[in-house]
């Protein structure tokens, strides 16, 4: 009872607690700004930002530690909608959103908006098709839902397979992002940095499960959104006198246009849906739509995001959480195009057309980080042309403060924000992976009599093992952050969306149909992704083309998802319908009021 009262007091004081936390972080940042003016070395400021913020997360994780299963898996289902929305925003806005999305807009122009549209639009699907009904179903994890809905461990096991593939791909991208930040701001090699960053990832997720991760993610959101907004608001105010970059980046684009004319830069690389010759391309248009679609559906299929809606007190709060999630995500996504515009303006203004021998210090610093920046004097004139500068999209946001000549404390702040984004998502992903292995595989399928203590030990052990493997894979630099994240979305969409949607909205869906649809969609998506990425020559020799209809592998779900729906539908019609009891229960979870009607029997 004392524990319950303590938790209740904590919930009622959340506003005061996080208000003080925010004030403390702002004060800490201002203190470092003063220290910079007093001559404290940049490396010290970088170390303080990285290690002190991780220490705060560790402290929150330690305070929120728990040995209760309900707290470990779903945070006791006591997280208010506002804070659950904030935690979901943090969980969602990974290294891809914080570090890479503006970089994608910087390099791809309008085409990069596919990520903004797809990732944001996905929450419409979450709100209307899944979140409230999964919460009402009353399970702990997505494989738990599949096992309960389709009556057995076969569907649960298939769900675990898809979850592992999608979540592991996603977590590798986060560790990769942490490695970039640690390498640049701690001055260590990328291969070592990924394992240093791994320690920060494990601190929060290992101690307290979903409860610790939830309250840590709220803290991480506060840092990441402050860190993302400060540089671009600063630049907007400095250049145009208005601290609202969303209103001023149109002027930045006009200046970019003038500089491109002055520098003789071809503009077709920023225009929408054009090929290398500057002409409209149906292939580019098709890839844009395919990517938007796959990202939307993938958003509604990611297990670590759907898990967040299992933590709310009731179904109504699950719906409200989605609304708050969209709002908190909007704050960053609405600013990303402005970030890209200001970054490009600064590069054109301060670097392009300048003597290579006298380029700013930041060029040399970032060129040492995992090949993220390269310069070559192709024509031998000693003057840097745009084509001679290669900037990886993963460093655009992180390097913009230095490019713009802002105080180094702002660079440290952005690094802390990027670290918060990567850590928060990695924590959620690792927890989803560990829970799937310990709860859905070990407890549900291998040892149903395992004690709560043993289940928690197994979960934490598996979490460490998965995290170390992810760091090892990330150290090989398999691809860019945003590409790896898009792969994860396609895998989740192709494998999980059909059984989730059919499981809620078509009560005639059978276990055999769901299993066949799930695995056929997932395997086709995986085949296309792996073949076109790692065996393109074999793929071309076998099918006579580099890509099916020119669709890039980041949108692999465009092939797997229709197959998943079709196979699920056909096989379900060919097999025996679910029990009347299950069909009645499916009807009941779509009623907008009331609690779970079948929860006790499912558990």
Which residue, among 508, 362, 352, has the nearest Cα to 42 in the 3D structure? 362
What are the backbone angles phi and psi of residue 243, rounded to the nearest 5°? Answer: -85, 30
pLDDT number for residue 1: 46
Q: What is the pLDDT of residues 18-50, one digit of tens each?
A: 899 899 999 999 999 999 999 888 888 888 887
Which residue, among 586, 575, 570, has the nearest Cα to 521 in the 3D structure? 570
Which of 166-175, 271-280, 356-365, 581-590 is predicted least confidently?
271-280
Q: Which residue has the higher pLDDT, 170 or 446?
A: 170
pLDDT number for residue 274: 67
Confidence of residue 600 (pLDDT cuts 50, 70, 90): very low
What are the backbone angles phi and psi of residue 18, rounded to the nearest 5°? Answer: -75, -25
pLDDT number for residue 273: 67
DSSP 522-540: HHHHHHHHHHHHH-HHHHH
Which of 39-43, 62-66, 572-576 is predicted least confidently?
62-66
pLDDT number for residue 370: 64
Confidence of residue 8 (pLDDT cuts 50, 70, 90): low
Contact 435, 382 (CB under 8 A): no
Confidence of residue 518 (pLDDT cuts 50, 70, 90): very high
Long-range contacts of 151-157 (CB under 8 A, 24+ apart): 151/511, 151/578, 151/582, 152/511, 153/444, 153/445, 154/511, 154/515, 155/499, 155/511, 155/514, 155/515, 155/518, 156/440, 156/444, 156/445, 157/441, 157/445
Cα–Cα distance for residue pair 517/170, rounded to 1 Å:
23
Task: Identify the top-confidence range among 92-106, 166-180, 226-240.
Answer: 226-240
Rounded to 5°, angle at Cα 226 from 224 and 231 = 105
Confidence of residue 372 (pLDDT cuts 50, 70, 90): confident
Cα–Cα distance for residue pair 578/591, rounded to 1 Å:
20
Which of 212-221, 273-282, 289-298, 567-576 is predicted least confidently?
273-282
Cα–Cα distance for residue pair 359/388, rounded to 1 Å:
13
Which residue, among 103, 78, 79, has the nearest Cα to 91 in the 3D structure? 79
Cα–Cα distance for residue pair 341/397, rounded to 1 Å:
11
Cα–Cα distance for residue pair 73/209, rounded to 1 Å:
6
pLDDT number for residue 601: 43
Task: Identify the top-confidence range among 33-37, 259-263, 382-386.
Answer: 33-37
Which residue, among 481, 547, 262, has the nearest Cα to 386 in the 3D structure? 262
Whole-number average pLDDT of the chain: 83
Which of 437-446, 504-513, 538-547 is predicted least confidently?
437-446
CA distances from 228 to 84, 240, 333 (A): 21, 19, 10
Residue 208 pLDDT > 70, yes or no?
no
Q: Which residue has the higher pLDDT, 601 or 536?
A: 536
pLDDT number for residue 431: 75
pLDDT number for residue 598: 47
Residue 319, by phi and psi: left (phi above 0), alpha (psi -120 to 50) or beta? Answer: alpha
Mapping DSSP onto H, E and C, the string for 242-271 reads CCCHHHHHHHHHHHHHHHHHHHCCCCHHHC
Q: What is the pLDDT of residues 168-200, one digit of tens each?
A: 998 898 888 888 888 877 777 888 888 877 776
CATH superfamily to which 43-491 belongs: Sodium/glucose cotransporter (1.20.1730.10)
pLDDT number for residue 597: 45
Decide: residue 4, CB within 10 A, 0-12 exposed, 13-18 middle, 19+ buried. Answer: exposed
DSSP state of 579: P
Centre a 10 Å sphere on the Cβ of residue 439 and count the other Cβ atoms it contains. 25
Confidence of residue 277 (pLDDT cuts 50, 70, 90): low
Contact 412, 25 (CB under 8 A): no
Confidence of residue 520 (pLDDT cuts 50, 70, 90): very high
Contact 403, 346 (CB under 8 A): yes
Instruction: Spell 117-136 as b/e; 16+ CB within 10 A means b.
Output: bbbbbbbebbbebbbbbbbb
pLDDT number for residue 77: 53
CA distances from 240 to 234, 253, 287, 560, 565 (A): 10, 13, 36, 48, 51
Tokens 């060919």 -> residue: 574
In the chain, the percentage of residues whose pLDDT exceeds 70 is 88
The model carries a pTM of: 0.86
pLDDT number for residue 555: 94
Q: Residue 389: beta bridge partners?
A: 375
């Amino acid at each position: 009872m004392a524990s319950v009262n303590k938790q209740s007091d904590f919930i009622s004081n959340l506003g005061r607690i996080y208000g003080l936390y925010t004030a403390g972080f702002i004060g800490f940042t201002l203190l470092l700004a003063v220290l910079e003016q007093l001559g404290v070395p940049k490396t010290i400021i970088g170390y303080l930002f990285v290690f002190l913020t991780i220490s705060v997360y560790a402290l929150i994780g330690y305070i929120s530690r728990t040995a209760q299963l309900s707290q470990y898996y779903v945070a006791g289902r006591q997280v208010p909608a506002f804070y659950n929305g904030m935690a979901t925003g943090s969980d969602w806005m990974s290294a891809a959103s914080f570090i890479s999305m503006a970089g994608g807009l910087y390099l791809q122009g309008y085409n990069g908006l596919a990520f903004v549209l797809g990732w944001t639009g996905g929450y419409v699907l979450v709100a209307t098709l899944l979140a409230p009904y999964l919460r009402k179903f009353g399970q702990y994890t997505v494989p738990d839902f599949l096992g309960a809905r389709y009556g057995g461990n076969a569907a649960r096991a298939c769900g675990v397979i898809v979850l592992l593939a999608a979540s592991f791909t996603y977590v590798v991208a986060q560790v990769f992002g942490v490695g970039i930040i640690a390498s640049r701001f701690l001055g260590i090699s990328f291969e070592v940095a990924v394992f240093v960053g791994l320690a920060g990832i494990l601190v929060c997720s290992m101690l307290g499960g979903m409860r610790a991760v939830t309250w840590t993610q709220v803290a991480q959101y506060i840092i990441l959104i402050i860190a993302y907004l400060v540089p671009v608001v600063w630049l907007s105010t400095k250049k145009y006198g208005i601290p609202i970059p969303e209103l001023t980046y149109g002027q930045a684009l006009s200046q970019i246009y003038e500089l491109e004319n002055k520098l003789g830069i071809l503009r077709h690389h920023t225009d929408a849906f054009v090929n290398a010759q500057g002409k409209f391309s149906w292939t580019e248009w098709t890839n844009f739509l395919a990517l938007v679609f796959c990202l939307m559906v993938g958003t509604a299929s990611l297990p670590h995001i759907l898990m967040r809606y299992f933590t709310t007190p009731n179904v109504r709060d699950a719906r409200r959480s989605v609304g708050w999630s969209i709002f908190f995500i909007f704050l960053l996504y609405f600013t990303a195009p402005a970030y890209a515009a200001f970054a490009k303006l600064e590069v054109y203004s301060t670097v392009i057309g300048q003597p290579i021998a006298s380029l700013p210090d930041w060029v040399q610093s970032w060129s040492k980080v995992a090949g993220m920046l390269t310069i070559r004097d192709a024509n031998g004139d000693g003057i840097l042309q745009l084509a001679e500068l290669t900037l990886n999209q993963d460093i655009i946001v992180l390097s913009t403060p230095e490019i713009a000549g802002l105080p180094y404390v702002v660079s440290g702040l952005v690094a802390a924000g990027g670290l918060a984004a990567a850590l928060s998502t990695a924590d959620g992903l690792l927890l989803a992976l560990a829970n799937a292995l310990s709860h859905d595989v070990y407890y549900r399928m291998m040892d149903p009599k395992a004690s709560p203590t043993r289940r928690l030990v197994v979960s934490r052990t598996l979490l460490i093992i998965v995290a170390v493997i992810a760091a090892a894979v990330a150290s090989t630099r398999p691809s860019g952050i945003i590409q790896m994240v898009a792969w994860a979305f396609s895998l989740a969409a192709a494998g999980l969306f059909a059984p989730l949607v059919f499981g809620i909205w078509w009560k005639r869906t059978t276990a055999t149909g769901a299993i066949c649809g799930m695995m056929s969609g997932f395997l086709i998506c995986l085949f296309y992704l792996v073949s076109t990425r790692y065996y393109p020559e074999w793929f071309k020799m076998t099918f006579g083309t580099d890509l099916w209809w020119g669709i890039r592998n980041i949108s692999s779900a465009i092939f797997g998802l229709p197959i998943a729906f079709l196979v699920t539908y056909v096989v379900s019609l060919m097999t025996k319908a679910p029990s009347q009891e299950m069909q009645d229960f499916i009807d009941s979870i779509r009623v907008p009021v009331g609690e779970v009607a079948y929860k006790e029997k499912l558990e």
